[in-house]
Structure 1
């Protein structure tokens, strides 16, 4: 895509499509290109014919071709969203320090707990918006997958559309292996190696996602392995085969071993037992991801170390003197 970044000034702009954006739908292209512009406005200017491709009106489902020239009408990017990002740049700048791998087609970060992967549901922005703000010259930055806001660990970001498509295909074919570490309540049985429980998701008007085990839900599978045992808790490795919302959190709850400090699916009494560890965040960490690099064809495994809060919790539990707080 040969162009400058979108302008906030009211002026017509022209974009010439390169191989990177070929075959992409025009509506999806505009949603990415016009960051901060509501989708409703994008579909409105498409419907009214204000967006032209090669001087012709097109429909939202039109697929772009190499060399297409797009005329984009004068449109104002939301200044509120821009200012909100600016006020939080100090926090988002930490994302630069969290990068654990980068090449010309792929970027991976060790996402901190407490930041969403994208804006929405009342959040002004997340990891992807933060990275775009830090790298305004990047032509393409898109999430390969998602992890929960309170979960930390490996997060992949594609720097090319072809990379995004290739990694999505690996996800679809279940060729990408993700391994999480979780501290769960009680003594997890070594015999419990696989949980297959269908998950049903409902989205409330507030945007909150509520997920539960339900026979009407989608097939879901997680594989488990015990990593370390404590008196009243177990550190487990969880490897999701499917990628449902909150899957690991619900499958562990379903097995009567909820994850520590899970404010939605957890056990408050278990959290109280951990008071001495000073932990105050969900103990769920995307520790590693294994996949085939889209460009080199080589198998890669990226690892993300646990943060100080999780490491500190385990260190405390390993002390022989640890006595859980009574409730």
Structure 2
């Protein structure tokens, strides 16, 4: 392996770069440098902001001058990227793009970012598709097995605007879920508090707990299947808060877990649906409404269900079960 030498340089933070953590900024500037090395050079004081030492969680301000030290890293040999097919397919998943953001219809099974043993995720794929984009950051997240609408900001100002809409609950999200049983029309919202736990394996599990964070999901019945022998309902779920696994746990805690949910589901129900072809979590982010971060205009995006899911619904509708 040959060696890359990053020379010492200085960078002044512009208006679209303020607000981000210094460690995240350095990772975008020092291509190929592992996170451990970034944290090490910050701890040792080799990185300076306005000629002063800082901590890895320091948030940059417009006008800050950063000293980025020389760093030696081994250059990886040019090998074929095993994810090239996935990256090229991702281009077809983009449903909207302008100078401020990208909206993607994320496929089920794709993680939003690498980590936990995954080197590749949606955000890494988009960065490979848009190598000249100086800034690409996730606005929000979707579980790996959930499909549907996901936003990526192309400017720091857009990210701040969209995060503000999330905090102020001005961003409207509608998910579609196939759940066990006949969902009672009287259950229009679930507000059970949710507590997140991380197991030793690194797996995240969420449960209803009075000590958890306040959470609210609104539900609405979209379709019932009286001709089917499988007792199931198609519902709309609109999360007002954005907790981990929120819709999945809120559905489960009222006795109506989502189909093919390997964490919170119901085995017998899932086996019935597997026989008619459902082999993935039936949770899809269908609609997203926001105020455009540049113009302020209210805009909506829609992502239709993939054919695999519509085929399952057609089978239930016809009663071929």
* TM-score normalized with structure 1 length: 0.89
Check 1:213–1:99 CA distance in 2 against 1; reply closer, same or farther (3 A cut). Answer: same
| Counterpart in the other structure of 1:73 | 70
Do the aligned partners of 1:238 and 1:248 also contact (CA within 8 Å) in 2?
yes
Do the aligned partners of 1:35 and 1:77 also contact (CA within 8 Å) in 2?
no
CA distance in 2, matches of 1:73, 1:293: 40
Check 1:15–1:108 CA distance in 2 against 1; reply closer, same or farther (3 A cut). Answer: farther
| Counterpart in the other structure of 2:304 | 305
**Map 1:1-327 → 2, pairs under 5 A:** 9-12=4-7, 14=9, 16-17=11-12, 18-53=14-49, 56-60=51-55, 61=58, 63-66=60-63, 68=65, 70-76=67-73, 79=76, 86-230=81-225, 231=228, 232-320=231-319, 322-323=320-321
Superimposed CA distance per residue, residues 60-89 of structure 1 (whole angstroms, 9 cap, x where no aligned partner): 326344373543312327849x969x2112
Check 1:69–1:209 CA distance in 2 against 1; reply closer, same or farther (3 A cut). Answer: closer
CA distance in 1, matches of 2:162, 2:74: 30
CA distance in 2, matches of 1:37, 1:210: 32
Structure 1 runs of 4+ off > 6 angstroms? none
Check 1:83–1:113 CA distance in 2 against 1; reply closer, same or farther (3 A cut). Answer: farther
Check 1:23–1:114 CA distance in 2 against 1; reply closer, same or farther (3 A cut). Answer: closer
Q: CA deviation at 1:262?
A: 0.6
Provide the aligned length of Structure 1 versus Structure 2.
313
Q: Secondary structure at the match of 2:281?
A: coil
Check 1:10–1:155 CA distance in 2 against 1; reply closer, same or farther (3 A cut). Answer: same
| Counterpart in the other structure of 1:3 | none
C-alpha RMSD of matched pairs (Å): 2.2
Check 1:79–1:254 CA distance in 2 against 1; reply closer, same or farther (3 A cut). Answer: farther
* TM-score normalized with structure 2 length: 0.91
Q: CA deviation at 1:31?
A: 2.9
Do the aligned partners of 2:49 and 2:64 also contact (CA within 8 Å) in 1?
no
Q: CA deviation at 1:266?
A: 0.5
Do the aligned partners of 2:6 and 2:30 also contact (CA within 8 Å) in 1?
no
CA distance in 1, matches of 2:179, 2:134: 41
CA distance in 2, matches of 1:179, 1:312: 21
Do the aligned partners of 2:178 and 2:233 also contact (CA within 8 Å) in 1?
yes
